[in-house]
Amino acid sequence: MVETRAARRRSTSPAPRRSTRGRSKSPGRSKSPAARRVSEPQNDTPAELTPYDMTAAQKALYCYALPSLLLIPCPVLVAVLAFCTNSDAIESPTAGGLAAYVSEHGASGLLSDSFEYVGFGDATAWAFLGCFNLVALALYYLPGPTKTGPPTATGHVPAYVDNGVAHCLLFTAAYGAGAYLGFFDAGALFDCFGPTIGALNIFGLVFCGALYFKGLYAPSTADAGSSGGGPVFDYYWGTELYPRFLDVDVKKFVNCRFSMTYWQLAGLAFCYRSYTLHGAVDPGLFFSALSQYVYLVKFFIWEIGYMRSIDIIVDRAGFYETWGCLVWVPCVYTLHSRVLVHSPSGLSWLSAGAIFAVGLAGVGLNYWADAQRMTFRENQGKGKVWGKKPKFIRAKYVTVDPDTGKRTERTSLLLASGWWGVARHLQYSFELTAAWSWGFLANPSKNGPLPLFYAAFLTILLIHRAARDEEKCLKKYGKYYEQYMAAVKYKIVPYVY
């Protein structure tokens, strides 16, 4: 879900405004001067380019043309990928099979057949998704300790019940029990995948429209409103940072309880379907499914950390974020596993096990790095990191209440020890190690480059996300983050980048 430059420059404030230094204020939705001060750059950092600052040509490019390059092709691409990996009309679920189909039927034939295949879903897909989300909703209310995310520019502090591990384990048990008792086949996620993508695609597009209007006219918090970039950009980027429906946090439910759970169970379901089709366990698919399941158990252990990440605290709930989690994740993040159902990897247990070990190490190190920083922050810098007193920078920033104009100085601790003293985003290196291992477990030498699509996409996404995160931190912390960058010189890969 690579975003546009305009999206990259959005802040977490209700709507981006021009800096008032040395120039007149731009008109905006907020009526009070206090509300307009919310997004003023802190710590004397330069003002960011926002739609309010753009020329007509810049706005046409960044707020209409570039978002359209994702708004239009992405819903088409997921239909094509579902058709390629799941339809019997394709000779093999590979790039070669796709090319052969285009050669025979033409690009227009591929597109029309793909959309005919996924459609708008069917009764089975809609019923399955309904039951899937009802179970997720029931588990959403499991008890647990309450944790908070960082305060927004308006001073809102999001709160979450930390029950992700219970959700993960109970949902897996419920899926297994449902299959065992005969309510559905264990391979159902593969069998109805095409119509499922069709249903999710149309629902996601409509739901993002509902979120667009909700953020403009009935926001859950003050961190909402138009970006000033026009309706296309607002639909793409979203108009609300923390939307809730019936007190259900949209981001937590969509991003975690649906998206990650579907991905987690998909590998197991695909592995089972492969076994029933071929009468043997494919080592590549087995280890891939196991590694991804472990990775997502790790995710739910760290779920509160995710709720404090850039996906949640910066990205609004629009097409980029919400459609991406509803449709792109189920389709693209499971692609390497789906390919193997009809086209087994052909790897030996020894070679697949070796790749699995490397990927599992990436998963473990990714968790270690994330947990290290989360524990450090929850302990307010007390305790030790790697057996030593941690080095950190105490960064100050200011939030402004949009109703009263009250300015509140806050503090964050920027860890510069442990993994976070090696590189500023070293956890991304570990995550990419796992992602590429899943692609190689699909044996690209046999199945071509298609199984590597997710890993290549994630590499671009995380490099881009690291740049966005640093831009956000420089704006928020100013000189303090510059000190952190001087202390920890490398961004993602030590001694390389």
pLDDT at 324: 97
Q: Region 102-118: what's the mean pLDDT?
A: 96
pLDDT at 183 over 80: yes
The more confident residue out of 20 and 159 is: 159
Please provide the DSSP assignment of 386-438 as one string.
Answer: TTBPPPEEEEEEEEE-TTT--EEEEEEEEE-SGGGGT-TTHHHHHHHHHHHHH
pLDDT at 15: 38
Please provide the DSSP assignment of 54-94 as one string.
Answer: --HHHHIIIIIIHHHHHHTHHHHHHHHHHHHHH-TTSSSSS
pLDDT at 28 over 60: no
- Sequence length of the chain is 497
d(CA 173, CA 182): 14
Nearest CA-CA partner of 414 in 494, 480, 465, 486? 480
Helix intervals (H) in 150-192: 164-180, 188-191
Helix intervals (H) in 238-385: 250-251, 261-278, 283-301, 303-306, 310-313, 329-332, 335-342, 349-378
pLDDT at 404: 76
How far apart are the two ends of the chain, measured CA to CA in Å?
22
Q: Region 456-477: what's the mean pLDDT?
A: 92
Contact 335, 447 (CB under 8 A): no
Q: How many helices (H) and strands (E) does the chain have?
A: 23, 6
Contact 143, 165 (CB under 8 A): no
pLDDT digits (tens, 9 = 90+) for 395-439: 998 877 767 778 888 888 999 999 999 999 999 999 999 999 999
pLDDT digits (tens, 9 = 90+) for 251-305: 999 999 999 999 999 999 999 999 999 999 999 999 999 999 999 999 999 999 9
Please, which residues bridge with residue 413 across strands? Answer: 394
pTM higher than the cut 0.95: no
CA distances from residue 289 to 284, 356, 421 in whole angstroms, order as listed: 9, 10, 32
Burial zone of 255 (CB within 10 Å; 0-12 exposed, 13-18 middle, 19+ buried): buried
Q: Region 167-192: what's the mean pLDDT?
A: 97
pLDDT at 49: 52
pLDDT at 409: 87
Q: Give the containing element (helix H, strand E) for 481.
A: helix 479-487
Backbone dihedral angles phi then psi of residue 199, each to the nearest 5 degrees = -65, -45
Contact 384, 390 (CB under 8 A): yes
Percent of the chain topping pLDDT 70? 90
For 341, residues 6+ apart whose C-beta sits below 8 A from its C-beta are 85, 93, 190, 270, 273, 274, 277, 285
In the chain, the largest separation of any two C-alpha atoms, in whole Å, equals: 73
CA distances from residue 323 to 126, 236, 320 in whole angstroms, order as listed: 17, 9, 6
pLDDT digits (tens, 9 = 90+) for 148-160: 999 998 889 999 9
Contact 330, 269 (CB under 8 A): no
d(CA 33, CA 10): 20
Contact 268, 173 (CB under 8 A): no
Percent of the chain topping pLDDT 90? 77
pLDDT digits (tens, 9 = 90+) for 45-100: 333 457 777 888 888 998 999 999 999 999 999 999 999 999 999 999 999 999 99
| Averaged pLDDT of the chain | 89
pLDDT at 52: 73
> What DSSP state is assigned to residue 323?
I
pLDDT at 410: 86
pLDDT at 475: 87
Contact 229, 51 (CB under 8 A): yes
Q: Which of 12-16, 214-218, 484-488 has the lowest mean pLDDT?
A: 12-16
pLDDT at 397: 87
Q: Which of 49-53, 219-223, 350-354 has the lowest mean pLDDT?
A: 49-53
Nearest CA-CA partner of 180 in 285, 310, 272? 272
pLDDT digits (tens, 9 = 90+) for 307-349: 999 899 989 999 999 999 999 999 999 999 999 999 999 999 9
pLDDT at 245: 94
